[in-house]
Amino acid sequence: MNDDLKYSSVHYNSYLQIDKITSAQSLRSVEVGVEAHDEMLFIITHQVYELWFKQLNYELKAIIRDFNSESVNESMVGIAVSRIQRMKVIMELLVKQIAVMETMTPLDFLDFRNFLFPASGFQSFQFRELEVLLGLKHSRRTTYNNKPYNVVFSEEKQSQLHELEDDKSFFELVEDWLERIPFLEFGDYNFVEAYRDAVLQMLESERKAIRQTEILTEETKQQRLAMLGDTSTYFAGILDPAHHASLKEEGKVRLSYKATLAALFINLYRDEPILRNPFILISSLVELDDQLTNWRYRHAQMVMRMLGKKMGTGGSSGHEYLATTAAKHQIFADFHQISTLLIPRSELPVLPADFRKNLGFYFTEKEIH
């Protein structure tokens, strides 16, 4: 780098290109000669959204580069956790930003809404890019007026989205990473067998407690026992690879069997030092997914408040379409479902001493000297 450039001074205004940013608000209502005061708020709010989408994609692309390799070392996992947590905080901010938009009343919006056709938030390329990068594939999307979601973009943008769809998403890279977790078998120890024994013991203890209680009626006891289930219900997908395969074929789960086992192991033994960062990574992805769902839901509620049952400016069904995406467009739902498979710490199989040693950070006396 040129030393003169390296140490040259820079002005706040030119560095941030403030003049370019603050001159990027062109009110359609002014252009047609009927100025609507709240259109400025509408434009700036959406421009800020797009800037944050850019930052979200910037963070995510960096994480994907780190995970797109045969091995992901511990430091990369820690960096990914920091960046995903940053993304989560940004999404929390985007959810709160809806409250700013809602200071505009439905009647205020009607002052300029007719000037916006056919523009729509559905045409946000950066948000679609974010969804695809995370792992929301075309086949799992709610259709937009019975057309592909990318139909609203230029051929160039459609091509970019197709390329992203063909590349591995972060969901798929996390799946690959989980499949490489080496702790499911160690010597004579087999996690699935130990876990099955622990589940059977836990279920039997709970059945016994239900049968022996004097507080419940016999009818209620039978209901509780039925709700408790057994290894052929809630736990079947993790104890029977064939059952998991059928669930995946039906679209009820996305993660591979081995990756699901690894995620469960990480959740159950999260207190072991080497598993701490992987657990925080999985938890952070769940939290990010939750915030994306919150944003979709709040967006849907805002549209209901502003438009009622009217169609969106882009021709969608408005609130109905947005509410459907909030319910169906979760990306890391498999990690939510891990909670169904958790058992109390008191019921966890005790890990062999040599195995536990490999899950910790330790030094021999020779290494210390």
Domain CATH code at residue 176? 1.20.58.480
What's the CA dihedral at 100, 106, 112, 114 to 10 degrees?
A: 130
pLDDT in tens, 237-247: 889 999 999 99
127 is a domain residue:
yes
Higher pLDDT, 120 or 250: 250
Residue 324 lies in a domain: yes
Residue 122: closest CA among 352, 267, 325, 259: 325
Rg of the chain, C-alpha, whole Å: 26
* Residue 312 reports pLDDT greater than 60: no
pLDDT of residue 277: 93
pLDDT at 287 over 80: yes
**Residue among 27, 62, 31, 33 at smallest CA distance from 46:** 27
The whole-number pLDDT of residue 367 equals 47
Average pLDDT estimate for 104-121: 90
Question: Two tokens at 276?
Answer: 């701490």
Q: How far apart are CA 235 and CA 247, in angstroms?
A: 12
In a domain, 227, yes or no: no
Which secondary-structure segment (H or E) carries 193?
Answer: helix 191-212
Give the pLDDT mean for 145-153.
81
DSSP letter for 138, please.
G
Q: Are 185 and 355 in contact (CB under 8 A)?
A: no
Is residue 50 one of the residues assigned to a domain? yes
Of 78 and 72, the structure prediction assigns the larger pLDDT to: 78
Helix, strand, coil % over all residues of the chain, rounded to 5: 65, 0, 30
**Domain interval for residue 73:** 37-182+242-335
Query: Model's pTM, two decimal places?
Result: 0.88
Domain annotation covers residue 24? no
Number of domains in the chain: 1
- Residue 150: what pLDDT? 87
Residue 207, pLDDT > 70, answer yes
Is 91 among the domain residues? yes
Is residue 66, in this structure, part of any structural domain at all?
yes
pLDDT in tens, 186-205: 777 888 999 999 999 988 88
Query: Nearest-CA neighbor of 131 among 312, 335, 323, 326?
Result: 326
Instruction: Give the DSSP H or E segment for 190.
Output: strand 189-190
Residue 143: pLDDT over 90: no
pLDDT higher at 9 or 40: 40
Domain-embedded: residue 187 = no
**What is the average pLDDT across 68-76?**
81
Other beta carbons less than 10 A from residue 369's beta carbon: 6
